[in-house]
C-alpha cells in the first residue's frame, strides 16, 4: 500500500510539471503568434516607443517624427562636405515612416527575452504621396543653390600675358545645376520609399568639374596662338607710305574666347578709325574701311607674317562741313563753294573731352533731343551726330551760351561736341543730310 501511495504522488508531480510546461508553451506560442503582427516589448523606432503596437499603430506613432532626407554637399570654402536635412513632411502630410519591413524582420522567437532589454531600430523606409512639383520649394534654401555659395568652375584656359600664350590653372568651383539637384532628390526620395537606400542623397559627385590643364588639345592651341601673336602685319598704304603692326599693338586687337584666338571687335574698330584719321587725305580721298576690316581680320588670325594693301576711295565732293578748332569756326561747302560759316565752341582736352579730329560723316540727325551725361541733362533743338554711332559727338545748339567763337573754348569748352548758335545750326540742318562729309582739324 505504501509503494502505491508514493507512485500516486509522483504522478501528481508529473502532471503538475506537464501542466506548467503546457501553460508556458501556450503562453510562448500565444506570444509568438501575437508578435507576428506586433512589435516586441521595449522596441523603439527612431526613438519612438512602439512596444506591442501593430504596424498600423506604429506608423501612426511615428508621425510624431518627420522623415528627413540628408543631403551631402560641397563646402564652398574648404574640401570638407556639409550635410543639410530636408523635412519631407513639407512635401505632403501623407508622407510618414513605413515600419512594415522592421516588423517582419524582428526575432519573435525570443519575444520573452525582449521584456528585459530594449531594442532600438531605425526605420529606413517611408510611404505616402506627394506632388513632385513641390520639390523646387523643398530645395530652394539648400546651401548649394544660394548665390553666395556658388563659385562657377573655370576650365584651364589659355591667356596672353606679357606677349606670351600661357595656360591658366583650372578653378574647381562649387556649382551644381538646380535641375540636377531636383532629379537627384526625386531619385533619393523614391529609393527611400522603396527601401533601396537610406535617407541620404550625396550630391558631391555631381558638381561641375572644370577641364584640366593637362588636356593635350590646349597645348596644341597654345602653339597656334603664340605664332599668331608673334607675327608682323605690313601695310602698303600708298607709294610713299608704309607701316607695320606687331607686338603689343597687334595683341591688343585680339582676345581669347573659349581657348581660341578671336578678333577684339571693339579694339579693331577703334584701330581702323584711328588709322583712317591718320592717313586719309580728305573727305573725298579716303581709305575704304570695310575692305580694310575684312583683310585685317584675316591677317590678324593668320599664323604667318602678312601684307595688307590699302584700298582707297576717291570721289567728287558734293558737300563738306569743315571745323577749324584753332579758329573756332565752322565752314559749310557745296562743290568747293563756301555757303556759310559760323562761330562755334569745341572741346578742350585739358578741361573736358577734346573734340575728335579727322574725317567723319553725318550718321544721325534728330530734333528735340535731350543730352544726358554724368553731371548734366540739357535739351537741344537740333542734333547732327558725326561719330560712328551718331550718339556721342555731334553739332548742336547750346541755349546756355550767349557767345560763340573766339577764346571761349579755352576756359569754357564743350564736352567734345561742336556747340553752335541756334540760328546757324538750323541753317546747317536744312543743308546737310545723312552721309554729308565732315572734316575737323586743329
Chain centre to alpha carbon of residue 435: 41
Rg (CA), the chain: 44
Instruction: Let me know if residue 195 belongs to a domain.
Output: no
Dihedral angle at the C-alpha atoms of 259, 263, 264, 268, nearest 10 degrees?
A: 160
pLDDT of residue 28: 81
pLDDT of residue 5: 52
pLDDT of residue 315: 66
Mean pLDDT (10-residue bins), the chain, 442 residues: 61 83 84 88 92 90 89 89 92 89 87 85 87 91 94 87 88 91 93 85 92 75 91 91 94 91 94 89 75 95 95 78 97 90 97 94 93 89 95 95 96 96 94 90 94
Q: Can you give the CATH number for the domain in which 227 is found?
A: 3.10.20.800
Burial 393-423 (b: 16+ CB within 10 A, else e): bbbbbbeeeeebeeebbeeebbbbbbbbbee
The verdict on 375 and 335 lying in the same domain is yes
- In whole angstroms, give the CA distance from residue 258 to residue 155: 9
pLDDT of residue 1: 45
Q: Can you give the CATH number for the domain in which 363 is found?
A: 2.40.440.10
- In whole angstroms, give the CA distance from residue 360 to residue 435: 9
The verdict on 330 and 224 lying in the same domain is no
- In whole angstroms, give the CA distance from residue 236 to residue 12: 133
252 sits in the region (left: phi over 0; alpha: psi -120 to 50; else beta) called alpha
| Strand pairing class (358-361; 437-441) | antiparallel
The verdict on 273 and 335 lying in the same domain is no
Q: What does 295-331 look like in DSSP terms, one character per residue?
A: HHHHHHH-SS-EEEEPPEEE---SEEEEEETTTTEEE
Answer with the one of 251, 279, 314 that is the final residue of a domain: 314
Instruction: Let me know if residue 287 belongs to a domain.
Output: yes
Answer with the one of 314, 348, 378 that is the final residue of a domain: 314
Could you tell me the pTM of the whole model? 0.48
Domain of 243 in residue numbering reads as: 217-314
The verdict on 337 and 258 lying in the same domain is no
pLDDT of residue 281: 67
Instruction: Let me know if residue 279 belongs to a domain.
Output: yes
The verdict on 357 and 281 lying in the same domain is no
The verdict on 296 and 326 lying in the same domain is no
The verdict on 332 and 297 lying in the same domain is no
With contact defined as beta carbons under 8 Å apart, do 239 and 254 qualify? Answer: no
Sign of the Cα pseudo-torsion (248, 252, 256, 260, in order) = negative
The verdict on 334 and 291 lying in the same domain is no
Instruction: Let me know if residue 230 belongs to a domain.
Output: yes
Split into its structural domains, the chain has a count of 2
Answer with the one of 296, 314, 332 that is the final residue of a domain: 314
The verdict on 264 and 353 lying in the same domain is no
pLDDT of residue 389: 92
The verdict on 273 and 338 lying in the same domain is no
**What residues have CB less than 8 Å from 109, skipping those under 6 apart?**
32
The verdict on 294 and 356 lying in the same domain is no
Instruction: Let me know if residue 70 belongs to a domain.
Output: no
Instruction: Let me know if residue 437 belongs to a domain.
Output: yes
User: CA of 215: how far to CAs of 110, 272, 396, 430, in Å?
Assistant: 63, 37, 57, 64
Instruction: Let me know if residue 281 belongs to a domain.
Output: yes
| Strand pairing class (437-441; 319-324) | parallel
The verdict on 393 and 340 lying in the same domain is yes
Instruction: Let me know if residue 165 belongs to a domain.
Output: no
Amino acid at each position: 500500500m505504501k509503494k502505491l501511495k508514493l507512485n500516486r504522488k509522483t504522478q501528481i508531480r508529473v502532471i503538475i510539471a506537464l501542466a506548467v510546461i503546457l501553460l508556458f508553451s501556450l503562453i510562448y506560442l500565444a506570444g509568438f503568434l501575437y508578435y507576428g503582427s506586433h512589435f516586441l516589448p521595449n522596441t523603439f523606432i527612431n526613438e519612438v516607443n512602439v512596444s506591442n503596437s501593430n504596424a498600423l499603430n506604429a506608423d501612426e506613432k511615428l508621425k510624431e517624427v518627420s522623415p528627413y532626407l540628408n543631403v551631402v554637399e560641397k563646402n564652398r570654402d574648404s574640401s570638407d562636405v556639409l550635410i543639410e536635412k530636408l523635412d519631407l513632411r513639407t512635401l505632403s502630410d501623407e508622407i510618414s515612416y513605413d515600419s512594415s519591413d522592421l516588423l517582419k524582420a524582428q526575432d519573435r522567437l525570443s519575444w520573452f527575452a525582449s521584456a528585459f532589454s530594449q531594442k532600438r531600430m531605425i526605420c529606413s523606409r517611408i510611404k505616402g504621396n506627394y506632388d513632385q512639383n513641390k520639390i523646387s520649394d523643398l530645395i530652394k534654401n539648400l546651401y548649394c543653390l544660394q548665390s553666395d555659395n556658388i563659385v562657377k568652375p573655370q576650365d584651364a584656359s589659355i591667356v596672353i600675358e606679357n606677349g606670351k600664350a600661357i595656360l591658366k590653372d583650372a578653378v574647381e568651383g562649387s556649382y551644381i545645376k538646380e535641375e540636377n539637384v531636383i532629379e537627384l532628390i526625386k531619385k533619393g526620395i523614391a529609393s527611400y520609399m522603396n527601401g533601396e537606400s537610406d535617407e541620404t542623397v550625396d550630391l558631391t559627385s555631381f558638381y561641375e568639374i572644370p577641364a584640366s590643364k593637362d588636356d593635350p588639345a590646349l597645348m596644341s592651341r597654345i602653339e597656334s596662338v603664340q605664332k599668331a601673336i608673334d607675327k608682323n602685319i605690313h601695310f602698303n598704304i600708298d607709294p610713299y607710305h608704309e607701316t607695320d603692326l606687331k607686338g603689343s599693338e597687334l595683341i591688343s586687337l585680339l582676345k581669347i574666347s573659349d581657348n581660341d584666338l578671336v578678333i577684339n571687335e571693339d579694339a579693331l574698330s577703334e584701330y581702323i578709325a584711328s588709322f583712317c584719321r591718320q592717313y586719309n587725305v580728305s573727305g573725298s580721298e579716303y581709305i575704304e574701311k570695310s575692305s580694310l576690316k575684312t583683310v585685317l581680320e584675316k591677317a590678324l588670325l593668320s599664323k604667318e607674317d602678312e601684307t595688307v594693301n590699302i584700298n582707297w576711295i576717291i570721289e567728287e565732293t558734293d558737300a563738306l562741313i569743315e571745323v577749324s578748332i584753332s579758329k573756332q569756326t565752322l565752314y559749310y561747302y557745296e562743290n568747293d563753294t563756301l555757303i556759310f560759316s559760323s562761330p562755334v565752341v569745341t572741346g578742350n582736352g585739358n578741361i573736358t573731352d577734346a573734340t575728335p579730329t579727322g574725317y567723319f560723316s553725318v550718321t544721325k540727325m534728330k530734333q528735340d533731343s535731350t543730352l544726358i551725361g554724368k553731371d548734366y541733362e540739357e535739351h537741344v533743338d537740333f542734333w547732327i551726330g558725326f561719330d560712328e554711332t551718331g550718339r556721342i559727338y555731334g553739332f548742336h545748339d547750346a541755349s546756355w551760351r550767349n557767345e560763340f567763337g573766339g577764346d571761349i573754348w579755352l576756359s569754357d569748352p564743350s564736352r567734345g561736341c561742336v556747340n553752335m548758335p541756334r540760328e546757324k545750326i538750323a541753317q546747317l540742318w536744312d543743308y546737310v543730310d545723312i552721309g554729308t562729309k565732315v572734316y575737323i582739324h586743329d
